[in-house]
Structure 1
Amino acid sequence: MGQLLSRPGKSSCVARCLLALCAAAATAAQAADWELDVDARLLSSEGGKSFLEAGLGTVRFGQDQSGLRLGRARVAISEPFGEVWTLHIDASAWGDQDKSPVGVTEAYLQYRPYPFSGYRLRVKAGAFYAPISLENRASGWESPYTLSSSAINTWLGEELRTIGLEAQLDWLGTRTGHTFDLGLTGAVYGWNEPAGVVLATDGFTLHDRQTPLFGRVGRAGYEPLEPFRQIDGRAGYYGGIEARYLDRVVLRALHYDNRADPSAYDAVSGAMAWRTSFDSAGVRIESGDGWTVVAQWLNGYTYIAPGGFELEWPFNARFALLSKRVGRHMLSARYDQFQVLSGKGNPEQDGSQQGHAWTAAYLFQLNPQWRFTLEWLRVVSNSYSRGDILGTTGLATETQLQLAVRCALGSSVQ
C-alpha cells in the first residue's frame, strides 16, 4: 500500500507525469478544443497518514508530506465530429505512484442534436461523472471555489464513475416565454460494483484527487482497490431531475443504485461486489453581484453478503458553501458534516465514522492563465477504524494549509 506514494521515487514520478502530459498536450494541440494546466502546491499539513499510504487521514496530504507538491497536471481534448458529435478525453497526473503516472478520469462520446419543439436531447456514452455535484462545475470536474472538495464530492471522485450510457432531455421553458427549464436524466452503467468499500473501511475524506479509470484507492489495513470493475454482470442505474430558474437557481435531485449482487466476488482478485444505493439533492443560488450559495445532501447505504451473511453501512453527508466574487478575487467558506454508521450484522461500531469540517479559501485570478489559491481546511472526526486497524485513538483533528499556483493553457484560455 505504501508504494502508492513513496518518497524515494517522488521526483522521478513527477518528472514522468509531466513528460507524459507534455506528449499528450502535443497531440491535444491538434484538436479543436484543448486545455493543459499544472497546479503546484506549497503546503503545511497536520493531518494523519494519507489514505493513499494505508492511513486513515481525512485530508489528501499527511504530516510527512508538507512542502512542495504537485497538486494536479491535466490535459483535456474535445474533438467535434460534424455538428452534433463530440469526443472528450480528460487525463491527469497527481504526483503519486499509482499504477501509471497519468490516468484518464473521463472519456466519452457525446451526441447533442439541435433543439426541437422546445426540447433538447443529449446522450453520452463512455466514462464520465453522474450529474450529482453542484460544487464541482469547473473543467476537469474541479471546484471553482476551493482546492479540496466537500466530503460528498470527494467520495464521488474516489469511487463513482458512470461507465455506460446516459441520456438527458431538457424542456427549454426559457425559450418559450417561461422563467425556468426542466431536465430529466437517466443512465445505465457497469464496472462500478466495488463502490462503497472505501466508505466502509476508511470513511469520508476531503480532498481533490480523482481516481483514474484504471487507478487505485488506498484502504487502511488492506491492499489497494481498483474501484471500476465488473464482478457480477449486473447493470446499475440512476435517474434524476433538474430545474433551472433564469440560470440563477439550480435544483437537482437524483437516485443512484448500482444493483450489485452483494454475495458476488471475483475469485482472481478477491474483490467483492458492494450493493450501494443513495439519494442526493442540492441547490445552487447565484446572485447578480457575485454571491453564490451551494447546499447539498446525500443519504444511502452500502452492504455485502458473503456467504449470505449481510453486513451493512448506512451513510449520510451534507454541506453548505458561501462564496463571494469581487473582480478577480473570490472568498469562499464551506461547512461539512458526514457520518458512516455500523448497520445490521456488524459487531459494535465496526467501520463507523462521524465528523465535520470547515474550509476557507481565497482565490486570485491574475489573468486567464494564472490563478493563485490559498486554502485552510480543518477536519474533526471520530473513526472506529483508527483504533481497530491502526491501534490509535479514534478522535482526530487534522489541519491542512495549501497555497496553489495554477498555470493554464489552451484553445479557450485567453
Structure 2
Amino acid sequence: MPHPQVNLRLGGAVLAMVLALACGTARATDWQLSIDTRLVSSDADRSVMDGGFGPVRFDREDAALQLGRLRLALTQAIAELWSVHLDASVYDDKGGALAGFSEAFVQWRPYPRAGYRLRLKAGGFYAPVSLENRAAGWDSPYTLSYSAIDSWLAVEVRTLGLEANLDWLGTRLGHDFDLGVTAAVFGWNQGAGTVLAGTGFSLTDRQTPLFGRVGQPGPPLPTSSEPFVQIDGRLGGYGGLEARYLDRLTLRVLRYDNRADPSATNTVANTIAWNTRFTSAGLRAESAGGWTGIVQWLQGETRIAPGGFEIEWPFESAYALVSRRWGPHTFSGRYDRFSVEVRGIDGDGAQSGHAWTAAYGFEPNAHWRFTLEWLQVQASSYNRDEYVGSPWSVQTQVQLAVRYSLGSTNR
C-alpha cells in the first residue's frame, strides 16, 4: 500500500503537471485557498485519531486553539471538455496523515444533447451520497461537524475508480423536473468498515486523505485503520438515482458494495478485506424564503471472515436537519441517531446513540466566515465499556471557527 509520504510526492508531481498545463494553455486555473482556525472546548474521551473512542473530533486533552483545516483546491480546464480537479488539505491534529488529497480526479463533460447531459469522472472522489456536504471542499454550509453518515464517509469511504453520470434535463424541455442516474466501478477501498466496527459512528469534519491512515500506527483494530487498500482482485461498484424538482426538491438514492472477499487477507501487511455495502436515501427541500430541510438514512453491513469464521456488523444511521438563512446569517439544527450491531462474536463493536447539533454562521463577505457550534453526543458503546470502563457517555464539544478564503472561485 502506498505510504502517505509517497502519496504526497505523487500529489506534488500531479500538482506540478496541472500548473504546467495551466501555463501552457490559454485557460485560467480556478483556485481557492482557505484557512480555518478553531477555538475548542471539549469534555470528550480521547479521539479516534489518537487511538481512543471519543465520538467527536476534539477531546479534553486537546489545546484550545486548533487548525481546523488548511485547504488548496485547483481546477484546470484542458481543451473544451476536459478538466482536472485537485483538493488538498492540511490538518495539525492527530492522525497518520496530516496532509494529502481528499479528492483528485479528471472529468469529461461533453455538451448536452437532445436534453441529455453525460459526465465521466476518473480518479479519487466522493460517491454522490451526501445531501448535506455541498460546499467547497465537501464541507457543510450548515454546521462544522458533519452528520454521522457523512462523518463516516469522510473517514473511510472514497471512490478510487471511474464514475458515469447521465442526466435528463427536463427543465430545459419545458418540464418541472430533472432526472439523473449514476454508476461507478472502483477499487482500493477494502478497508472501509474497520473504523465503524472498531469505534462506531462519530461526528467530525476531518476527511481522511486518499491512501491516508485513520488514527495512530499500531494494531489494526481498534486504534488504527488504512481504509484505502486493495486485498483481492475484485472491483466494487455503486449505482444511484436522483430526481430534482424546480431546484427546490432533491431526492437521492444509492446502493454501494465494495464486493471485497471477506476471507481474503494480506499476511505481509496483516490486513483483512472488509466487505462493506450499504443503501442510502435522502431528501433535501429548499424554499425561496431561505429555509432548508434535509432528511437522510443509511443502512448496511460490513463483514470479515478470516479462516472461514464470519463476523458481521450491521449498521444504520439517520438524521434530520433544518436551516434558515437571513442575509449573512445562518441558523442550523440537526438530530442524528446511529447504531452498530454485531453478529458472530459477543458484542465487540456494538454501539447505539444519538446526537444534537446547533450552529450559527455569519458570512459578512465572500472571504470571511464565522461559525459557532454546540454538539452533544449520547451513546452506549461495548468497546468503551471494554477499554474505558463504562459503556454509556454524554460528551459535549463547542467550537468557534474563523475561516478566511480567497481565490478565483470566491464570490
Moved over 3 A (4+): 26-31, 97-101, 219-223
Assess if the C-alpha contact under 8 Å between 1:122 and 1:169 holds in 2. Answer: yes
Normalising by structure 2, what TM-score? Answer: 0.92
Correspondence for 1:367: 365
Assess if the C-alpha contact under 8 Å between 2:74 and 2:87 holds in 1. Answer: yes
Letter in 2 for 1:356: H
Supply the distance in 2 between the matched residues of 1:209 and 1:285 (Cα, whole angstroms).
Answer: 26
SS in 2 for 1:194: coil
Correspondence for 1:296: 296
User: Is 1:185 aligned with 2:195?
Assistant: no
Supply the distance in 2 between the matched residues of 1:210 and 1:396 (Cα, whole angstroms).
Answer: 25
Correspondence for 2:130: 133
Task: Write the mapping of 1:338-353 to structure 2, written as runs, cut at 5 A.
Answer: 338-343=338-343, 345-347=344-346, 349-353=347-351
Correspondence for 2:269: 269
User: Is 1:110 aligned with 2:91?
Assistant: no
User: Is 1:79 aligned with 2:76?
Assistant: yes
Assess if the C-alpha contact under 8 Å between 2:70 and 2:89 holds in 1. Answer: yes
Supply the distance in 2 between the matched residues of 1:204 and 1:242 (Cα, whole angstroms).
Answer: 26
User: Is 1:280 aligned with 2:280?
Assistant: yes
Letter in 2 for 1:363: G
The number of aligned residues is 390
State the identity %: 58
Assess if the C-alpha contact under 8 Å between 2:293 and 2:323 holds in 1. Answer: yes
CA shift, 1:391, in A, is 3.7
Supply the distance in 2 between the matched residues of 1:214 and 1:238 (Cα, whole angstroms).
Answer: 20
Assess if the C-alpha contact under 8 Å between 1:89 and 1:106 holds in 2. Answer: yes
Assess if the C-alpha contact under 8 Å between 2:52 and 2:223 holds in 1. Answer: no
Distance 1:216 1:142, change over 3 A: same
Task: Write the mapping of 1:128-207 to structure 2, written as runs, cut at 5 A.
Answer: 128-207=125-204
Task: Write the mapping of 1:3-402 to structure 2, written as runs, cut at 5 A.
Answer: 32-96=29-93, 98-218=95-215, 222=222, 224-343=224-343, 345-347=344-346, 349-388=347-386, 390-402=387-399
CA shift, 1:100, in A, is 4.8
SS in 1 for 2:150: helix
Letter in 1 for 2:371: T
SS in 2 for 1:386: helix
SS in 2 for 1:39: strand
Supply the distance in 2 between the matched residues of 1:281 and 1:254 (Cα, whole angstroms).
Answer: 7
Assess if the C-alpha contact under 8 Å between 2:95 and 2:215 holds in 1. Answer: no
Assess if the C-alpha contact under 8 Å between 2:294 and 2:320 holds in 1. Answer: yes
CA shift, 1:350, in A, is 1.7
CA-atom RMSD, angstroms? 1.9
Supply the distance in 2 between the matched residues of 1:106 and 1:166 (Cα, whole angstroms).
Answer: 14
Structure 1 residue runs without a partner (length 5+) = 1-19
Supply the distance in 2 between the matched residues of 1:182 and 1:240 (Cα, whole angstroms).
Answer: 11
Assess if the C-alpha contact under 8 Å between 1:45 and 1:66 holds in 2. Answer: no
Structure 2 residue runs without a partner (length 5+) = 1-11
CA shift, 1:222, in A, is 4.3
Distance 1:27 1:402, change over 3 A: farther
1:28-87, CA deviations, whole angstroms, 9 ceiling, x for partnerless residues?
997510000000000100111011111000000001114000000000000000111110
Correspondence for 2:7: none
SS in 2 for 1:63: coil
Letter in 1 for 2:334: R
SS in 1 for 2:137: coil
1:160-208, CA deviations, whole angstroms, 9 ceiling, x for partnerless residues?
0000000000001001111000000000000001111111111000010
